[in-house]
Amino acid sequence: MLSWPRQDTTSCSLKTSMCDCSTLGSRLEIACLFHADVPALESDHETRLDTMSDPWLSIPLADYEGHMGADNVQQLSALSGLFKRALDVCLPDSVAILGIAGGNGLEHANPATIKRIVGLDINPGYLDEVRRRFVTHPNLELHCVDLSHEKLRVAPVALVHAALFFEHAGLGRALDNALSLVTRGGTLSVVLQLPGRDQQNVTTTSYPSMQTLARNFSLVDVPRFRALLEKQGFRLLNEELRPMPTGKMLWLGIFSASPLGPE
Protein backbone atom coordinates (compact mmCIF):
# COMPACT_ATOMS: atom_id res chain seq x y z
CA MET A 1 0.00 0.00 0.00
CA LEU A 2 1.24 3.45 -0.79
CA SER A 3 0.98 5.79 2.10
CA TRP A 4 0.66 9.46 1.38
CA PRO A 5 1.44 12.18 3.86
CA ARG A 6 -1.52 14.25 4.91
CA GLN A 7 -1.63 17.93 4.24
CA ASP A 8 -0.59 19.84 7.30
CA THR A 9 -2.82 22.85 7.74
CA THR A 10 -0.76 24.36 10.55
CA SER A 11 2.51 25.03 8.82
CA CYS A 12 3.28 27.20 5.85
CA SER A 13 6.45 25.42 4.81
CA LEU A 14 6.84 23.24 1.78
CA LYS A 15 6.71 19.59 2.72
CA THR A 16 8.65 17.01 0.80
CA SER A 17 8.50 13.35 1.60
CA MET A 18 9.61 10.24 -0.17
CA CYS A 19 7.35 7.20 -0.05
CA ASP A 20 8.93 3.80 -0.35
CA CYS A 21 6.69 1.49 -2.29
CA SER A 22 8.45 -1.73 -1.38
CA THR A 23 5.40 -3.93 -1.98
CA LEU A 24 5.71 -3.38 -5.71
CA GLY A 25 8.88 -5.35 -6.21
CA SER A 26 11.07 -2.56 -7.48
CA ARG A 27 11.74 0.35 -5.18
CA LEU A 28 9.56 3.23 -6.23
CA GLU A 29 10.13 6.65 -4.87
CA ILE A 30 7.28 9.02 -5.14
CA ALA A 31 8.00 12.59 -4.26
CA CYS A 32 5.02 14.25 -2.66
CA LEU A 33 5.14 18.00 -2.57
CA PHE A 34 2.43 19.65 -0.54
CA HIS A 35 1.82 23.21 0.40
CA ALA A 36 0.14 23.67 3.72
CA ASP A 37 -0.59 27.33 3.09
CA VAL A 38 -0.77 29.33 -0.07
CA PRO A 39 2.63 31.00 -0.33
CA ALA A 40 3.21 34.58 -1.40
CA LEU A 41 2.32 34.49 -5.07
CA GLU A 42 3.68 36.20 -8.10
CA SER A 43 1.59 39.05 -9.42
CA ASP A 44 0.97 36.99 -12.56
CA HIS A 45 -2.80 36.71 -12.60
CA GLU A 46 -2.59 33.46 -14.47
CA THR A 47 -1.00 31.66 -11.55
CA ARG A 48 -3.80 29.71 -9.91
CA LEU A 49 -4.58 31.14 -6.48
CA ASP A 50 -6.44 28.47 -4.55
CA THR A 51 -4.08 25.58 -3.88
CA MET A 52 -5.87 24.12 -0.89
CA SER A 53 -9.24 24.01 -2.56
CA ASP A 54 -8.08 22.75 -5.93
CA PRO A 55 -11.17 21.01 -7.29
CA TRP A 56 -9.09 18.20 -8.80
CA LEU A 57 -8.40 16.90 -5.30
CA SER A 58 -12.11 16.13 -4.85
CA ILE A 59 -12.81 14.43 -8.17
CA PRO A 60 -12.74 10.63 -8.13
CA LEU A 61 -10.78 9.22 -11.06
CA ALA A 62 -13.86 7.21 -12.04
CA ASP A 63 -15.80 10.47 -12.45
CA TYR A 64 -13.04 12.04 -14.55
CA GLU A 65 -12.70 9.01 -16.81
CA GLY A 66 -16.46 8.45 -16.98
CA HIS A 67 -16.95 12.07 -18.03
CA MET A 68 -14.15 12.06 -20.61
CA GLY A 69 -15.41 8.80 -22.10
CA ALA A 70 -19.10 9.88 -22.17
CA ASP A 71 -20.86 9.89 -25.55
CA ASN A 72 -21.09 13.67 -25.59
CA VAL A 73 -17.40 14.18 -24.70
CA GLN A 74 -15.37 11.30 -26.23
CA GLN A 75 -11.99 12.78 -25.42
CA LEU A 76 -10.18 9.91 -23.65
CA SER A 77 -9.34 7.98 -26.80
CA ALA A 78 -8.52 11.18 -28.72
CA LEU A 79 -6.06 12.23 -25.99
CA SER A 80 -4.51 8.78 -25.94
CA GLY A 81 -4.06 8.96 -29.72
CA LEU A 82 -2.47 12.42 -29.52
CA PHE A 83 0.02 11.19 -26.91
CA LYS A 84 0.93 8.32 -29.23
CA ARG A 85 1.36 10.83 -32.05
CA ALA A 86 3.74 12.91 -29.95
CA LEU A 87 5.77 9.79 -29.08
CA ASP A 88 5.91 8.77 -32.75
CA VAL A 89 7.06 12.22 -33.86
CA CYS A 90 9.63 12.74 -31.10
CA LEU A 91 10.90 9.19 -30.40
CA PRO A 92 12.07 10.26 -26.92
CA ASP A 93 14.28 8.19 -24.62
CA SER A 94 12.61 9.85 -21.63
CA VAL A 95 9.16 11.37 -21.23
CA ALA A 96 7.14 13.29 -18.64
CA ILE A 97 3.37 13.66 -18.59
CA LEU A 98 1.97 16.70 -16.78
CA GLY A 99 -1.48 16.03 -15.31
CA ILE A 100 -1.24 12.31 -15.94
CA ALA A 101 -4.66 11.56 -14.35
CA GLY A 102 -5.11 7.76 -14.62
CA GLY A 103 -2.35 7.25 -17.17
CA ASN A 104 -4.49 7.59 -20.29
CA GLY A 105 -2.33 6.56 -23.27
CA LEU A 106 0.58 5.37 -21.16
CA GLU A 107 0.36 1.99 -22.84
CA HIS A 108 1.93 3.70 -25.91
CA ALA A 109 5.12 4.48 -23.98
CA ASN A 110 7.34 1.43 -24.43
CA PRO A 111 9.39 0.96 -21.24
CA ALA A 112 11.95 -1.03 -23.23
CA THR A 113 12.91 2.00 -25.33
CA ILE A 114 11.97 4.88 -23.01
CA LYS A 115 14.31 4.69 -20.07
CA ARG A 116 12.48 7.20 -17.82
CA ILE A 117 8.72 7.68 -17.74
CA VAL A 118 7.69 10.47 -15.37
CA GLY A 119 4.09 11.15 -14.36
CA LEU A 120 3.06 14.25 -12.42
CA ASP A 121 -0.27 15.14 -10.92
CA ILE A 122 -1.77 17.10 -8.06
CA ASN A 123 -4.03 14.21 -7.03
CA PRO A 124 -2.19 11.44 -5.11
CA GLY A 125 -5.04 8.98 -5.61
CA TYR A 126 -4.66 9.25 -9.39
CA LEU A 127 -0.96 8.41 -9.07
CA ASP A 128 -1.77 5.38 -6.91
CA GLU A 129 -3.99 4.16 -9.70
CA VAL A 130 -1.38 4.80 -12.40
CA ARG A 131 1.10 2.74 -10.41
CA ARG A 132 -1.46 -0.06 -10.01
CA ARG A 133 -2.37 -0.07 -13.71
CA PHE A 134 1.16 0.14 -15.06
CA VAL A 135 3.12 -2.44 -13.09
CA THR A 136 4.39 -3.32 -16.57
CA HIS A 137 6.39 -0.05 -16.52
CA PRO A 138 9.17 -0.58 -13.96
CA ASN A 139 10.82 2.73 -14.86
CA LEU A 140 7.79 4.79 -13.95
CA GLU A 141 8.57 7.76 -11.69
CA LEU A 142 5.55 9.47 -10.12
CA HIS A 143 5.50 12.90 -8.50
CA CYS A 144 2.56 14.32 -6.61
CA VAL A 145 2.96 18.06 -7.02
CA ASP A 146 0.92 21.18 -7.51
CA LEU A 147 2.57 22.46 -10.66
CA SER A 148 0.73 25.79 -10.47
CA HIS A 149 2.43 26.71 -7.21
CA GLU A 150 5.48 24.58 -6.51
CA LYS A 151 8.82 24.93 -8.23
CA LEU A 152 9.56 21.59 -9.79
CA ARG A 153 12.90 19.95 -9.08
CA VAL A 154 12.93 16.90 -11.31
CA ALA A 155 15.67 15.96 -13.79
CA PRO A 156 14.69 17.05 -17.32
CA VAL A 157 13.41 14.66 -19.97
CA ALA A 158 13.49 14.53 -23.77
CA LEU A 159 9.71 14.96 -24.20
CA VAL A 160 7.27 16.75 -21.93
CA HIS A 161 3.62 16.14 -22.77
CA ALA A 162 0.80 18.30 -21.41
CA ALA A 163 -2.71 17.51 -22.65
CA LEU A 164 -5.63 19.69 -21.47
CA PHE A 165 -3.41 20.69 -18.60
CA PHE A 166 -2.72 24.41 -18.97
CA GLU A 167 -6.46 25.14 -19.17
CA HIS A 168 -6.63 23.96 -15.54
CA ALA A 169 -3.18 24.80 -14.20
CA GLY A 170 -2.72 28.20 -15.88
CA LEU A 171 0.28 29.62 -17.71
CA GLY A 172 2.25 31.05 -14.78
CA ARG A 173 4.31 28.67 -12.66
CA ALA A 174 2.85 25.66 -14.50
CA LEU A 175 4.34 26.79 -17.80
CA ASP A 176 7.69 27.62 -16.18
CA ASN A 177 7.73 24.13 -14.67
CA ALA A 178 6.88 22.54 -18.01
CA LEU A 179 9.67 24.37 -19.83
CA SER A 180 12.20 23.65 -17.10
CA LEU A 181 11.49 19.96 -17.46
CA VAL A 182 12.48 19.86 -21.15
CA THR A 183 16.09 18.94 -21.67
CA ARG A 184 18.32 20.98 -23.99
CA GLY A 185 17.25 20.16 -27.56
CA GLY A 186 14.17 18.29 -26.25
CA THR A 187 10.50 18.74 -27.13
CA LEU A 188 7.28 19.89 -25.51
CA SER A 189 3.99 18.62 -26.85
CA VAL A 190 0.83 20.40 -25.83
CA VAL A 191 -2.84 19.63 -26.42
CA LEU A 192 -5.17 22.60 -26.10
CA GLN A 193 -8.93 22.76 -26.42
CA LEU A 194 -10.07 25.27 -29.03
CA PRO A 195 -13.19 27.40 -28.49
CA GLY A 196 -16.31 25.40 -29.43
CA ARG A 197 -19.59 26.41 -30.98
CA ASP A 198 -21.49 26.10 -27.71
CA GLN A 199 -18.77 27.85 -25.64
CA GLN A 200 -19.32 25.35 -22.80
CA ASN A 201 -15.87 24.61 -21.44
CA VAL A 202 -16.84 21.69 -19.22
CA THR A 203 -19.56 19.68 -20.95
CA THR A 204 -22.52 18.54 -18.86
CA THR A 205 -22.51 14.76 -18.30
CA SER A 206 -23.87 12.44 -15.62
CA TYR A 207 -20.83 13.37 -13.47
CA PRO A 208 -21.82 16.61 -11.71
CA SER A 209 -18.51 16.68 -9.78
CA MET A 210 -16.82 17.66 -13.07
CA GLN A 211 -18.68 20.97 -13.10
CA THR A 212 -16.61 22.10 -10.09
CA LEU A 213 -13.69 22.39 -12.53
CA ALA A 214 -15.37 25.16 -14.52
CA ARG A 215 -14.32 27.92 -12.13
CA ASN A 216 -10.63 27.15 -12.65
CA PHE A 217 -10.82 26.42 -16.37
CA SER A 218 -9.69 28.94 -18.99
CA LEU A 219 -9.16 28.23 -22.66
CA VAL A 220 -5.62 29.01 -23.82
CA ASP A 221 -5.27 31.09 -26.96
CA VAL A 222 -3.04 29.18 -29.41
CA PRO A 223 -1.32 32.18 -31.12
CA ARG A 224 -0.59 33.72 -27.73
CA PHE A 225 0.72 30.40 -26.43
CA ARG A 226 3.00 30.07 -29.47
CA ALA A 227 4.30 33.59 -28.94
CA LEU A 228 5.00 32.88 -25.25
CA LEU A 229 6.97 29.78 -26.16
CA GLU A 230 8.89 31.48 -28.95
CA LYS A 231 10.04 34.10 -26.44
CA GLN A 232 11.41 31.26 -24.33
CA GLY A 233 13.32 29.79 -27.28
CA PHE A 234 10.79 27.06 -28.18
CA ARG A 235 10.05 26.68 -31.90
CA LEU A 236 6.87 25.09 -33.28
CA LEU A 237 7.85 21.90 -35.13
CA ASN A 238 4.50 20.36 -35.84
CA GLU A 239 0.82 21.13 -35.29
CA GLU A 240 -2.36 19.19 -35.87
CA LEU A 241 -6.07 19.68 -35.35
CA ARG A 242 -8.22 16.86 -34.05
CA PRO A 243 -11.97 17.46 -34.45
CA MET A 244 -14.11 15.71 -31.82
CA PRO A 245 -17.39 14.04 -32.83
CA THR A 246 -19.01 16.42 -30.34
CA GLY A 247 -17.98 19.53 -32.29
CA LYS A 248 -15.10 20.49 -30.02
CA MET A 249 -11.63 20.72 -31.54
CA LEU A 250 -8.30 19.77 -30.01
CA TRP A 251 -4.98 21.26 -31.14
CA LEU A 252 -1.67 19.43 -30.81
CA GLY A 253 1.50 21.53 -30.97
CA ILE A 254 5.00 20.08 -30.74
CA PHE A 255 7.75 22.55 -29.86
CA SER A 256 11.49 22.01 -29.84
CA ALA A 257 13.74 23.60 -27.26
CA SER A 258 16.88 25.31 -28.42
CA PRO A 259 19.85 22.90 -28.43
CA LEU A 260 21.82 25.74 -26.81
CA GLY A 261 19.31 26.47 -24.05
CA PRO A 262 19.68 25.71 -20.34
CA GLU A 263 19.66 22.07 -19.32
Provide, rounded to whole angstroms, the least separation between the CB of residue 146 and ligand SAM.
5
Nearer to ligand SAM, 96 or 158 (CB): 96
Smallest distance, ligand SAM to C-beta of residue 99, A: 2
Smaller CB separation from ligand SAM, 148 or 189: 148
* Binding region for ligand SAM (CB under 6 A): 56, 68, 79, 99, 101, 104-105, 121-123, 126, 146-148, 163-165, 168-169, 174
What's the closest the beta carbon of residue 45 comes to ligand SAM, in angstroms? 16
Q: Which is nearer to ligand SAM, 49 or 185 (CB)?
A: 49
Residue positions counted in the chain: 263
Smaller CB separation from ligand SAM, 141 or 146: 146
- In terms of DSSP bridges, do strands 94-98 and 29-35 run parallel, antiparallel, or are they unpaired? unpaired
Return all residues near 62 (Cβ < 8 A) that are at least 6 apart.
Answer: none
Smallest gap from Cβ 259 to ligand SAM, in A, equals 27
* 103 CB-side CA count, 13 A: 25
Strand order in the sheet with 234-243: 14-20, 29-35, 140-144, 116-121, 94-98, 157-163, 182-194, 249-257, 234-243
Nearest to 134 by CA among 123, 119, 147: 119
Cβ closest to ligand SAM, residue 147 vs residue 181? 147
Name the residue with the smallest CB distance to ligand SAM. 99
Other CB atoms closer than 10 Å to residue 39's CB: what's the count?
Answer: 13
Shortest separation between residue 22's beta carbon and ligand SAM, angstroms: 26
Calpha distance 234→227 (Å, rounded)? 9
3-state secondary structure of 14: strand
